[in-house]
A and B are shown apart, each in its own frame.
Chain A
Amino acid sequence: MLADLPTLLFNTLIWGMATFLVAAGLTMIFGILHVLNFSHGGFFMIGAYVAHSLANWSSAMANIWGFLLASVITAAVIGAVGLVVDRAIFRRLAHVDGAYVLVATYALLLVCNGVVKLIWGLNVVSASPPPELFDVSFLGNLVLPHYSIFVIVAGLAVFLALEWLINMTSVGRLIQAIAIDPWMARLLGINVGLIYSATVIIGFALAGLAGGLLVANQSLSPDLAGIFIIQAFGVVIVGGMGSIRGAFLASLLLGLADSFGTALLPQMPGLFFFVALAAILLIRPRGLIASGRLS
C-alpha cells in the first residue's frame, strides 16, 4: 500500500462529498420526475463559471462569508434557470419515451457546453479559495487542506438539510407522496405540477450550489460537466431510485473504491470507479436502497 489508511479515508470523504454535492440535485429530479438529467452536469458547470465570475467582479473571495454568499447567489440563479427549463422542456417530456427523455437532457447538456464556450471561452480558468480555507492542517502524517474539510462539511450539511426537508417538513411529505404515487396524490387534491416544478427548481439550485462551493477545487473548462455527470450518474444509479440516503451511501462507497483503487493502481486513475459501479449494479441491480423512493 502506497498511502496510509487515514489519507485514503480522507480522500474517500473528499471524493464522496464533492460528488454527493453534484449528485444530490440529480437524485431529487430522478426520484420525483424519473428523469435522469444529463444536463445536470452542464448546469453544475455553469454554476461554477457564474460563481467564478462573481468572484472576479466583486470581492466575494475575500473571506469565507463572501464565498458562501456567492455560492447561494449562484444557487438562486441556476434555480431560476431550472424554472425556465421545467416550463420549456421537462413538462413536455412527461409523455415521451424514456430513451428520448435521456437524449433530450443530453441535448440540453450540449446546449450548456455551447453556452459556456461562447460566454467564457475554451481556456482553462481557476479560482483560489478564500484565505481562511487556503491553509493546511496536519494531524500526524495526515495532510488536511482546509478547503477539503470545507467541502466535506458542505456535503454533510447539504445531506442533513435534504434529509430534514424530505422527512420533517410538510413539503417533504408531499414530495414523498408524489414520488410513491403521483396519480393517487393528484386524486387527493395535491397540486402535483407545482411540486414537480419545485423539485426541478430545488434540483437545479443544488447544482448551482455545488458549482459555487466546488469552484475553487476545479480548473474550470468546458469538460467539467462531462467529468462530474458520469460520477454523479454512477452515484444516483448505485444509490437506487432517487434515494438521497442511497446517493449519500453510494458517494462514500464509490469514493472508497476510487481512492483505494487509485492507491493500488496509480497509473490508472478513475478505473476503479467504473469497476465498482459495474460490480455493485450486478450484485444489487436496483441500487443500494431500492425499496423506498426518495427516502
Chain B
Amino acid sequence: MSRSHATRFLVILVILTAAALLLPFAANRGLVFLAGVIAINVVLGLAFNLLFSTAGLLSFGQATFSASGAYAAALLLLRAPEVPFLAVLVIAAATGAAIAFAIGFVALRRTEGVYFAVLTLAFAELVHVIIAKTSFFGRNDGLTGIQRPRIGPLDLAQGNAYYVFVILVTALLIAVLWWVTHSRLGRSFRAVRLDPMRAAFLGIDVRRRQLEAFAISGACAATAGALMGPLTSIVSPDLAHWGESTKPILFTLLGGAGHFWGPLVGAIVFSAVEYGTRSLAGASDLITGGLLLAVVLAIPGGLLGLATLGVRRLQARPAAPSEAALPLAPAASKGETL
C-alpha cells in the first residue's frame, strides 16, 4: 500500500467522520437516527464488498453475520449486563467470525457462480428459521427492551452519545476493512479472485484465503450488527431475512463495486431514496428495483464509476475531444480503480 494512498483514505475518513459527528447540530433526531442506521449499513456494504470485489465471492447470506452479531450483543446486554459493552462488541465479532467460518467451511466447496450464492442463501435462511422459531431468541417477536449501555463512566443513553459511539466504531471498522483490502492479505485475496489456479501455483492456499476473507467479512458485519440493537432497542428475526442479505449487494453495486467507497455512496443514496419514498407503499420497491436495474444495465461501474468516468472525460476533453463521444465501454465495468 502506498503512503499517499493511505493518506488520501485517512483524509476522506476523517472528513466523513467529522461530517457525521457534526450532523446532530444541523438535523433533527429522526435524521440523526437514520444516519446511525446508514453508518451501520455502510459497514455491512463494505464487508460484503471485501468478499465480492476483493475475494471474488458472491455471498447472498450476509444477513446471517449481521444478525448473529445483533443477537449476540442483545442477549448479552439483556441477560448479562455486567459484561462491559466493548467486550460485548468483541464477543459479537467473534460470533460472526465463527459462524462465517462454519458456513464458509461448507459452502466454499462450491465457489463457482450461482452455486455458492445459493448455498449461502440456503444457510442464511436456515439461520433465519432457527432464530424465528426458538424461544431463546424470542421467536418472531425478537428481543425487546435493549438499553443503550454504559462504557465505564460514560452513559451512552445521554443525548446523542450513542450516535457518536456508533460513528466512531463505524469509522474504526471502515479503517480495518480498508487496511485488510490494501494489505498483503488483501492482495492475496485479489490474486485468488483473478485466477485461483495461478494463485495456487504461486503457493497461496486458495481455500484458506477465501475462508479468511469470509471470517473477516463476518466479523465486521457482526460488529456493525451488534450496534443495531441498542440503537433501535429491538432485534427481530427480520434482521436475518434474506431480504437483508440483498441490501449490502444493492449498496455495493449502486455505489460501484470497483471502488472502496462505493458501498458508502450506495448506502447513502439508497437510504435517501427510501426515505424520500417511505410514505408510498410499493413506490420504494419500484424505484429501488428500477435504479438497480438501470445501474446494472447502463452503468455497471456504479455511481462512483460513472463519476470517475465523467472526471476522466472532462480531463481528456481538451486533448482528445473525439474520445468523449464514445459510448460506455462494457470493459469499464470490470475496471480496477481501488
Contacts and interface: CB of A to CB of B under 8 A. Distances in A.
Interface of A: 36, 89, 92-93, 95-100, 102-104, 106-118, 121-122, 226, 230, 233-234, 237, 267-271, 274-275, 277-278, 281-282, 285
Contact of B119 (A98, A100, A268, A278): A278
B282 A230 contact: no
A63 to B, nearest CB: 34
Contacts of B291: 107
B286 interface: yes
B289 A114 contact: yes
A267 B249 contact: no
Which 7 A-B residue pairings sit nearest by Cβ, starting from the closest? Answer: A117-B282, A110-B289, A114-B286, A114-B285, A107-B292, A111-B289, A118-B282
A230 B293 contact: no
Nearest to B277: A114
Given A97-B333, A99-B52, A111-B293, A278 B109 contact: no
Most buried by A among B130, B133, B283: B133
B231 to A, nearest CB: 26
B296 A100 contact: yes
B283 A114 contact: yes
B115 A281 contact: yes
Interface stretch (B121-129, B155-163, B208-216, B261-269): B121-129
B283 A118 contact: yes
B293 to A, nearest CB: 4
A112 B334 CA distance: 29
A99 B58 contact: yes
A102 B289 contact: no
A92 B133 contact: no
Contact of A114 (B129, B242, B284): B284
Given A111-B289, A114-B286, A103 B129 contact: no
Interface of B: 52, 58, 106, 109-110, 113-115, 117-119, 121-123, 125-126, 129-130, 133, 242-243, 246, 249-250, 253, 281-293, 296-297, 300, 330, 333-334
Contacts of A121: 281
A261 B118 CA distance: 21
Contact of A226 (B117, B243, B297): B243
Majority DSSP secondary structure for residues of B touching A: helix
A110 B52 CA distance: 21
B300 A285 contact: no
Nearest to B139: A267
B333 A237 contact: no
A246 to B, nearest CB: 14
A98 B58 CA distance: 10
A111 B285 contact: yes
A270 to B, nearest CB: 5
A102 B129 contact: no
Contacts of B289: 107-114
Nearest to B118: A237
A11 to B, nearest CB: 18
